Amino acid sequence: MRLRGEAGNEVTQQQRNVEEMLERAARTEQRDAAQELADKTQARPNVAQTPRRMMAGIACTLIGGVLWGVNGSVSKILMEQYDASPMWVACVREIFAGLIFLACGAIGSPKAMRKAFTTVRDYPMYLVTALTCVTLVQVAYLFSIHWTNAGTATVLQTVNLLMVLVYVCVRGRRKPTVHEVVGVALAFAGVWLLATGGDLGALSLPLPGLLWGLADAFACACLAIIPVKLIAKYGNFVVNGITFLLSGLILTPFVRPWAHVPAFDARGWWLLVFTVVVGTFVAFWLYMAGVVRIGSMRATMFGTIEPVAATVTAVMWTGAIFTPIDLIGFALILIMAFLVH
């Protein structure tokens, strides 16, 4: 009985530790999101951030981008080896990741979660965020690949750097800094080299592909801008939970995921769990945590680590080899990271 009681106390203490951790994370992200909103109204970019906040934001953004890159490789395995449709994967991971976000929000910031659901005037913003920052990001990228190819779609997606830079400069009523201009150019060049191997002939640009690619870039730019105000009010977990679940439910009538479940073996189910928990929940949580700490422009630039991670995992899992062009692309993105930092 005594051992059972001690075990019960340990479980209770662990639950309290988890609740305290989630509560601290929610408070920190709300505070940093509020600071990011204040920074955007300044005529000059804020360079006086504390080193701890800056490094935490950079780390979150980089890890989130790496996990996105790994998630792309995992999703490709699910689609090619298990015949899972891209929209099925997108719908399932949005719904379940949304539920995980909401569970964390209920534990870490229950008051903010209740307020989020009872503040009806914010419902239209939830819908806009879900459609633009979640649904359109997934659908536009898939159709961009369909009409062009993966390399072209990735290069077009990188146009979001220019969109975010224009927004930040217009919002702050300032000119772009030299570091920002050079950083955007290096990031774009690095992604282009990784995606196409430096071969202009690898770019395929029919009009529908161009339009879907630009729509994807627009959605990715919105991801670094639109949710910040909501996160300042309700926290990262709550906002992501509502928007992901809403997006998944919007896709459900069209995808009908229960009617087309792929024939997964044990490995397939584990990969699906990975893409939901790590590649979607953890990746988006970390990326948005980075956005509210270092700002949308820096976060968008550091997010270009995604194709680097995708290339590295492809080499590790498929036996492909790095080409000199790949290494040059890596170097350009790393130089960009140092400039932005």
Distance CA 128, CA 226 (A): 9
Residue 234 falls within a domain, yes or no? yes
The DSSP line for 278-327 is IIIIIHHHHHHHHHHHH-HHHHHHHTTHHHHHHHHHHHHHH-----HHHH
The answer on pLDDT for 185 being more than 90 is: no
CA distances from 60 to 28, 145, 242, 254 (A): 13, 28, 21, 34
Lowest mean pLDDT among 81-95, 136-150, 193-207: 193-207
Total number of domains constituting the chain: 1
- How confident is the model at residue 57, as a pLDDT? 86
pLDDT band per the 50, 70, 90 thresholds, residue 337? low
Q: Do the Cβ atoms of 237 and 185 come closer than 8 Å?
A: no
Q: Which two tokens stand for residue 66?
A: 């790496």
CA distances from 297 to 140, 216, 283, 301, 330 (A): 22, 17, 18, 6, 20
Q: Do the Cβ atoms of 225 and 287 come closer than 8 Å?
A: no
Domain of residue 297 covers 31-40+51-340
Residue 277 falls within a domain, yes or no? yes
Over residues 69-84, the mean pLDDT reads 83
Q: Is residue 121 exposed (0-12), middle (13-18) or buried (19+ Cβ within 10 Å)? A: exposed
Question: Which of 120-129, 203-212, 220-229, 286-295: highest mean pLDDT?
Answer: 120-129
The answer on pLDDT for 117 being more than 70 is: yes
**pLDDT tens profile 120-179:** 999 999 999 999 999 998 888 878 877 876 666 777 787 888 888 888 888 888 888 888
The answer on pLDDT for 206 being more than 90 is: no
Residue 14 falls within a domain, yes or no? no
Over residues 228-237, the mean pLDDT reads 88
Helix, strand, coil fractions of the chain, as percent rounded to 5: 85, 0, 15
Residue 325 falls within a domain, yes or no? yes
CA distances from 6 to 12, 14, 184, 250 (A): 10, 12, 56, 46
Residue 87 falls within a domain, yes or no? yes
Q: Which two tokens stand for residue 56?
A: 């935490």
Residue 69 falls within a domain, yes or no? yes
Q: Where are the alpha helices (DSSP H) in 109-235?
A: 110-118, 123-129, 136-147, 150-157, 160-172, 178-196, 207-223, 227-234
Distance CA 191, CA 252 (A): 33
- How confident is the model at residue 5, as a pLDDT? 54
pLDDT band per the 50, 70, 90 thresholds, residue 39? very low
Q: Quick one: which of 275, 256, 216 has its CA closest to 97?
A: 275
How long is the chain? 341
Percent with pLDDT over 90 in the chain = 26
pTM of the complete model: 0.76
CA trace torsion 297, 299, 302, 304 (10° rounding): -80
Q: How many CA atoms lie within 13 A of 317 on its CB side?
A: 13
Residue with token string 């689609």: 79
Helix (H) or strand (E) holding 276: helix 266-276
Residue 25 falls within a domain, yes or no? no
The answer on pLDDT for 330 being more than 90 is: no
Residue that wins the pLDDT comparison between 334 and 67? 67
Residue with token string 């536009």: 140
